Structure 1
Amino acid sequence: MDRKVNVLQNGVLAGVLIQHESGAYTFQYDATYLAHGAPIAYRLPLQKEAYHSDQLFPFFENLASEGWLLKLQSQLQHIDERDTFSMLIANGKDLVGAVSLEEIVE
């Protein structure tokens, strides 16, 4: 089953990040955000077409905790610390910077 998160920039929906069952990833900007927003990352410039990758995009990878905080979150939340996407889902509302993530539950 695919896992999806809304990507918000300063509380505004910027797009959707999907982890596909295959392990590949897709990020696509929201159409409304494209008209008025700014890119969330240098390597993810605004475009209508979706971005595709076999690995988690480096921008999102770098949002995840590291070191002692990663170990603590992993232990408290019972999430494998190597599962970066799950860690982002669990902690995405409290990230450093303007971007936050909210899981889409279908």
Structure 2
Amino acid sequence: MRRARVYNHGRLAGSLDELNDGRFRFQYDASYLQEPDASAVSLTLPLQNQPFLCDHLFAFFYGLLAEGSTRQLQCRLLQIDENDAFGLLLATGRDTIGSVSVEPASEEER
């Protein structure tokens, strides 16, 4: 299983996991949900305690990735398979447009 930490406005908002069966799970951090000014990372992922599950990488997170020749170049330079969207997100998600960023989880968090 691969795991990422998801930040919104620099605060830990939740975790994004690639499960062993190939599905994806996003779950808001309990502490984040307690913050009075917490906001959803996406309209498609509203604030809630229950995890979200999807058979493929959530469209919102996929949308954070580069496209076209830029994506091809990133994959070549980072030696990531072009079909490994989650791997590319783990490698490039720190530098995104907007309030949300994604970082690989540490070994202890996995």
| Fold equivalence (TM over 0.5) | yes
Q: RMSD value over aligned CA atoms?
A: 0.8
Q: Residues 40-59 of structure 1: matches in 2 within 5 Å? A: 40-59=41-60
Q: Which residue of 1 aligns with 2:103?
A: 102
Secondary structure of the residue aligned to 1:69 is: helix
**Unaligned ranges ≥5, structure 2:** none
Q: 1: distance between equivalents of 2:74 and 2:10?
A: 24
Find out whether 1:63 has 2:64 as its counterpart: yes
Q: Which residue of 2 aligns with 1:34?
A: 33
Task: For residues 30-71 of structure 1, give each alpha carbon's deviation from its aligned partner in whole angstroms, at most 9, with x where no partner exists.
Answer: 111112210010010000011111111111111111011101
Task: For residues 2-39 of structure 1, give each alpha carbon's deviation from its aligned partner in whole angstroms, at most 9, with x where no partner exists.
Answer: 00000001110000000012110100001111122100
Identity of aligned residues (%): 42
Q: Normalising by structure 2, what TM-score?
A: 0.92
**Structure 1 segments of 4 or more deviating over 4 A?**
none
Q: 2: distance between equivalents of 1:98 and 1:66?
A: 19
Q: 2: distance between equivalents of 1:59 and 1:83?
A: 16
Task: For residues 73-103 of structure 1, give each alpha carbon's deviation from its aligned partner in whole angstroms, at most 9, with x where no partner exists.
Answer: 0110111111100000000111111111111
- Cα drift, residue 105 of structure 1: 2.7
